Structure formats: C-alpha cells, structure tokens
Structure 1
Amino acid sequence: MTVRPILETHSPSSDPSWWGAILLGAVFILAGLIVLGDVVAATVISAFIIGIVLLVAGASEVFQSFSAPHWRGFLLRLLVGLLYAVCGLMLVSNPAAASVALTLVFALALIASGVVRIVQAVEYWQWFGWLLLVSGIVGIAAGLVILSKWPVSGLWVLGLVVGIDLLLHGFWWITLGAGLRRDNRAITA
C-alpha cells in the first residue's frame, strides 16, 4: 500500500486549518483588547487565578500523598503539595503584592518565549515569519524592560505586556491563516 503525501490530496482552501488559524488570531486579538482595557485589573486577576490553580494543585498533591502513603517520597510529596498550597494562598490573599513576584517570572518567560518565536520565524519564514520575528523581538524587549523597572512595574506592566503580546501574536495567526488560504503549500511538521 502506498501513501500519497498530504499536499497532493487536498487544496489549502478546502483545508480547515486556514480558518482555524484566523479564528485563533481573532481570539488572541479579542483577549488582548480586553486585557488592555484595564491593565491593573488584568494583572491582579492573573495573580488571583494562578493562586487558585496553585491551591488546587497543592491540595491534590497533599491528598495524593495521603492516599498512597506506602509510595516512596511521602514526605517530599507532602511538602511539595504544601508549598504549592501556601504559594497559592499567598497569591489569592494578596494578589496585588504577589503580582510583583509574578512580574519577575513573567519577564523571564517573555524573554524565553521571544527566543522561541525568533527561532520559529526562521523555520516558518515563507509563512509571514517576519511577523513572528517582530513578535519575538517585542517579547524579548518587553521582558528586558520589565526587568529594568522591576519591582516598581509589578502592578501594571504584566497586564500591558500581556495585552500587547496577545495582539501581536493574534495578528500573526490571522496573517498566517490568510496566507495559507491563498497558498498551495501547507505547513507540515
């Protein structure tokens, strides 16, 4: 049995991935506009939600450690669960103050994400990779600006940078989807 390459069996305009990319871009842009509507609220809400997630993860780890105490590492699993829960409680109880620490972590994540986008831009250059390159450069620059103003930037910068990052990434997805619709090539792994 022979397998024909996927590019020979369908046209890009009949492939749903182009409109999926456009829809994803629209979601990113809408999310970016919502975040930019109130950057301080977006920062505090982000810290609160992360706190809830950490509380649930910590409680789950503690529960699991008591559910299987015969497993190795009972004490370590218990301590990890308690650490998650305590960090989550700190974020939930004072999300404004906790956002200062989150801002530091976020700045480092933006830099790492920007580097990945730059590498991807080279790989996907023919599919509007220059937009991904710009997005990566902006991510790295934003991360460096946050680090240079930290901890003062703790409240408002997280929401602002997330909003701008979402807008740029959404614009790239929409442009990619429109290009895929017109192009006879498909992105393959």
Structure 2
Amino acid sequence: MTSIFNGMPTSSLQSKWIWFVGLGVLLLICGLIALSNLMVATVVSVFYVGMLMLAGGVIYLIHAFQVRGWDQVLFWALSGVLYVLAGICTFINPILTSAALTLFLAVALVIAGVFRIWVGVRMKPVKGWGWIVASGIITALAGFVIALGWPVNSLWILGLFLAADLIVQGSTMIAFGFGIRS
C-alpha cells in the first residue's frame, strides 16, 4: 500500500530510511563533539553567523547597483556595507560578537516567553491553555537566566544551543528513519 506524503510516495521515502538514520548519526556525533567543547562550538557558531553576514552584505551590494534611483542605491549599498562590516567584526573579535549574540538571545527569549504567556492567558477558556502559559514561563525564565549570567556565559551558551540543536535533530532523524523503515 503506497500513500502520498507531500507529493512523494511513501514507498519511495521508505527506501531512503538508511539515509535519514545516517544523517541522524552524523548530526548526533557533531552535537556530542560540540557538547564536549562548548567554547569552540560558540566560536564556530559565531563564525557561521559572520559568514552569513558577509554573504548577505555582498548580495546587498550587488543588489544595490541593480536598482534604479540614487536614493534606493544608497539605501541598499549602506545596508550591504553594514552587513559586511558586521561580518568582518565577527572574525576580528568573536568573543565580543558572542557576547552581543548571547544578549540578543536572552532578550529574544524573554520577549517570546512574555508573548506566549500573553497568548496563553488570552486563550484561557480553551482546553490546554495552561501548556502555552507554562511554555512561555519556561522560555522567559531561560532568557532571564541567560541575561543574569551575561557576559560570562556568552563564552559557552551559544555552543550549548548549537550542541543541543544538533543532538535533538540527530535523534529526530534517527527516529524518523527507523520509523519509516517499517
């Protein structure tokens, strides 16, 4: 019996189960390596962000000269230059960049947590609203804990998030691969 999953027959997906398991194992190994040295993982994540900023800046600069009108060219060129400078700064001083990114992460988690609490309270008559509020409280608390430890924790917190994400993604891919096998 073949069913359709997002336009792809599941039998075709089932035949690729080993690739999902292999990817999962690779991601899990990378996550454990990152977990073994959080400071190096933090620097790697900062360099990754820096490369993305450099690439984005170059794209903005190329785009700036594709538009018509000097006011638009100036805006896009200035945006590109700022991205390129920010990307260069990540490579010049990755520790300062990790501190800035960690502070940004803390603020984002607090805001997201407060928003989830607000949404959960507004959904109060609906069954399960408490789970949304609980999720918001945990997210906001995580942001507060990160902010309280800032800037010292900026040496390892981004690496911890990277390691945790790789481990969760790896475990998920392994479970998915074995799940579609049968």
TM-score category (smaller protein): 0.5 to 0.7
Post-superposition CA distance 1:57-82 (Å, at most 9, x none) = 21332233235454861111111111
- Per the alignment, residue 6 of structure 1 pairs with 4
Distance 1:77 1:61 in 2: 6
Residue 40 of structure 1 aligns with an amino acid whose one-letter code is M
Distance 1:152 1:167 in 2: 24
The normalised TM-score by structure 1 is 0.64
Partner of 1:161: helix, strand, or coil?
helix
Does residue 32 of structure 1 match 2:25? no
- Per the alignment, residue 180 of structure 1 pairs with 180
Does residue 152 of structure 1 match 2:177? no
- Per the alignment, residue 44 of structure 2 pairs with 45
Residues 45 and 95 in structure 1, CA contact (< 8 A), matched pair in contact too: no
- Per the alignment, residue 81 of structure 1 pairs with 80
Distance 1:141 1:161 in 2: 16
Distance 1:174 1:156, change over 3 A: same
Residues 106 and 143 in structure 1, CA contact (< 8 A), matched pair in contact too: no
- Per the alignment, residue 170 of structure 1 pairs with 170
Within 5 Å, give how 1:14-163 maps onto structure 2.
15-70=14-69, 73-107=72-106, 108=108, 140=139, 143-144=142-143, 145-163=145-163
Give the CA deviation at 1:24. 2.5
Distance 2:62 2:10 in 1: 51
Distance 2:170 2:48 in 1: 23
Q: Aligned residue pairs: how many?
A: 154
Most deviating of 11-20 and 165-174: 11-20
Post-superposition CA distance 1:125-182 (Å, at most 9, x none) = xxxxxxxxxxx99x95895343442332111111123212321231122122212223
Partner of 1:73: helix, strand, or coil?
helix
Q: CA RMSD in A?
A: 3.5
Distance 1:24 1:71 in 2: 48
**Which ranges of structure 1 fall in alignment gaps of 5 or more residues?**
116-135, 183-189
Partner of 2:65: helix, strand, or coil?
helix
Give the CA deviation at 1:29. 0.2
Residues 142 and 161 in structure 1, CA contact (< 8 A), matched pair in contact too: no
Residue 86 of structure 1 aligns with an amino acid whose one-letter code is L
